[in-house]
Amino acid sequence: MNLQPIKQRFSIIGNNDGLNRALETAVRVASTDLSILVTGESGVGKEAIPQIIHSQSPRKHNSYIAVNCGAIPSGTMDSELFGHVKGSFTGAGTERKGYFEEASGGTIFLDEVAEMPLETQVKLLRVLEAGEFLKVGSSKVQKTDVRIVAATNVDIPKAIDAGKFREDLYYRLNTVPIHLPPLRKRKEDIHLLFRKFAADFSEKYRTPLIRLSDEAREMLERYYWHGNIRQLKNITEQLNVLEEERNVSAQTLLKYLPDLSKSNLPATRQSNSGSDSDLNEREILYKILFDLRNEMNDLKKLVGDLLKDGSISDEDTQIIKELYTEAETDPAKDPEYQALQLPAHTSEANAAQAEFQDSNFHQHQEVEESLNLEDQERILIKKALEKHNGKRKYAAEELGVSERTLYRKIKEYELS
């Protein structure tokens, strides 16, 4: 699909795969009346997607209304969206049309839809399902024909778990999901955007064009960009207005990049730091993982002691051997394996021990335990399900998560 005309018309800069995929989806669904949910962090440019959809749809000659749900007080939300009749509340001196009535035949964009009150969400669901609504203070059902595109930077499944968003409304809005990637995942586009903003501000303020040194460009591309495109645009404008030198060095750029400790830029670390509060996020994560590995090693030692004491049956001993075979650890370095070399009590155990000795344990290569969070999470979920015979309710309680979250993780890790 040739997206260049779309990008030029709506001033979209970049060639990132995630960005292109979002634009292609918007163009493909424009001719339908399907509801769209646009997700992405604040400042990634979500407002461009509903404009593209409306401009490419059969509704393009009718109204397009953008509503910021986060900017409307909850007490007046129903009146703004659905209108009200005269005398319906104090100050309602005349009848008023709402956005859904005004936009009938066109498209309405509900930005920050997760900020909508629950009682208004019920009424929005009725519009989506039946195309009907009631004005505030009226009992007369009115019809509307609108295409709804919603957007949010909130994790909706988490909002559902917290009771702040209706699950049925989420599935009605999310008929076609479109996700815009954050700027830090569009590294190839960052300098293109900077050049575009620099040219715009140079023309606006009638100043020479600012340029970045190679080191400054690398720093720009490695920065985390919490505010995404909006933050990049603000910093470009500051550089254009405040810096006399038009060739910006890395040292100069550093003054305009806040929260360096949270970015991907290299950061110095105090050598006398010993407490968890002084550790950065990644160090804390590794510390947790190493603590988990130490606990697993302690558990192995406990099993080894039980084997030495003869407290485990021959059948359980065979199971443990099979588990060690699957783990492919180096037997020479494993105290539990040495425990398994003790004289067996039965001929069956002797045969199992001989088979165990001929297994993959003789590979003299030590395999590191996985430190990947997803691997550890998958293992914990699997163990909880096995412990409770596949009953998700009790497994979720054991893991300290909601049953809905557990169900989503089971699908994600294909544990069903």
pLDDT digits (tens, 9 = 90+) for 314-371: 666 666 666 655 554 444 455 544 544 444 444 544 554 545 455 444 444 444 455 5
Q: What pLDDT sits at residue 402?
A: 82
Asked if 100 and 81 count as a contact pair (C-beta separation under 8 A), the reply is yes
- The span from the first CA to the last CA of the chain, in angstroms, equals 37
pLDDT in tens, 300-309: 776 776 666 6
Please give the share of the chain, as a percent, with pLDDT higher than 90.
Answer: 58
HSE (side-chain half, CA atoms, 13 Å) at 61: 1
Closest CA to 330 of 364, 368, 296, 297: 364
Q: Would you place residue 299 in the very low, low, confident or very high pLDDT band (cuts 50, 70, 90)?
A: confident
Confidence of residue 267 (pLDDT cuts 50, 70, 90): very low
* Residue type at 58 in one-letter notation: P
Share the mean pLDDT of the chain. 82
Rounded Cα gap, residues 106 and 67, in angstroms? 14
Rounded to an integer, what distance in angstroms lies between the CA atom of residue 60 and that of residue 52? Answer: 10
Q: What is the pTM of this model?
A: 0.62
Highest mean pLDDT among 255-259, 267-271, 316-320: 255-259
Query: Going by C-beta distance under 8 Å and a sequence separation of 6 or more, which residues neighbour residue 287?
Result: 276, 279
Higher pLDDT, 346 or 215: 215
pLDDT digits (tens, 9 = 90+) for 47-70: 999 999 999 999 999 999 999 999
Order of strands, sheet of 64-68, starting from the edge strand that comes earlier in the sequence: 64-68, 107-111, 147-152, 36-39, 176-179
What is the structure's pLDDT at 276? 41
- Amino acid symbol at 213: S
d(CA 328, CA 152): 46
More confident residue, 401 or 204: 204
Q: What is the pLDDT of residues 119-177, one digit of tens each?
A: 999 999 999 999 999 999 999 999 999 999 999 999 999 999 999 999 999 999 999 99
